[in-house]
Chains A and B, each alone.
Chain A
Amino acid sequence: DAMVIQNPRYQVTQFGKPVTLSCSQTLNHNVMYWYQQKSSQAPKLLFHYYDKDFNNEADTPDNFQSRRPNTSFCFLDIRSPGLGDAAMYLCATSRTTRVRETQYFGPGTRLLVL
């Protein structure tokens, strides 16, 4: 089945230690998104890629970076995680260009910062 895969499902890191979260998709979609969801809060868009074009949200901290080496993969890099970065990180994809397209979400990676 075509899907969005996130690895790892759970990630524990230390305060200030760089961490990378991975997302892959078999849907061949043009757009990949990263959302941050803190406990009992709404998912918040961090940034998205439209093909190779990177679109950063205005209020996304500089501590968060992303890479998309090819259509299938997208990475979220947190350069110096703080305690406030503990959250569920959701990756999503869409075909884009058409507003009738839905977004397909992966299962998420739960990040714990010690």
Chain B
Amino acid sequence: KQEVTQIPAALSVPEGENLVLNCSFTDSAIYNLQWFRQDPGKGLTSLLLIQSSQREQTSGRLNASLDKSSGRSTLYIAASQPGDSATYLCAVGDFTGGGNKLTFGTGTQLKVEL
């Protein structure tokens, strides 16, 4: 059974810092890995999707990497801003039942302070 772990559980940084969030998974037979953002009391917003054949994806100040063999992914946030404060969730996908089944980690709660 796939298990996804995210470290740290919470992180507080001053504005402008570059930071890295970590995600690890136990079964490397994945099809893709996604990073989501969740604001308090809200749904999930997809940030980046990395296919199993890819090693990284970039969107603006965000860069996500994937090392399938070691079961690890990182989300790099450059020049952090207070608006980046949210919970970041990592999810790995496998293809069952015709859908992309996701197994989530518990998230890293990020606070960017002025």
Contact = CB atoms under 8 A, between A and B. Distances in A.
Contacts of B36: 105
A53 B105 CA distance: 27
A43 interface: yes
Contact of B106 (A41, A92, A96, A100): A41
Contacts of A22: none
Contacts, number: 77
A101 B101 CA distance: 11
A99 B90 CA distance: 16
Given A53-B98, A55-B99, A99 B51 contact: yes
Contacts of B93: 99
Contact of B43 (A96, A97, A102, A106): A106
Interface residues of B, number: 29
B44 A105 contact: yes
Nearest to B107: A42
A33 B49 contact: no
A33 B99 contact: yes
A103 interface: yes
Contacts of B41: 88, 108, 110
A92 B106 CA distance: 18
B106 A40 contact: yes
A11 B4 CA distance: 30
**Residues of A in contact with B, size category:** 20 to 34
A48 B99 contact: yes
B89 interface: yes
B106 A103 contact: no
Contacts of A21: none
Given A42-B105, A103-B102, A106-B43, A53 B4 contact: no
Contacts of B34: 102-103
B18 interface: no
B31 interface: yes
Interface of B: 4, 31-32, 34, 36, 41-46, 49, 51-52, 89, 93, 95-107
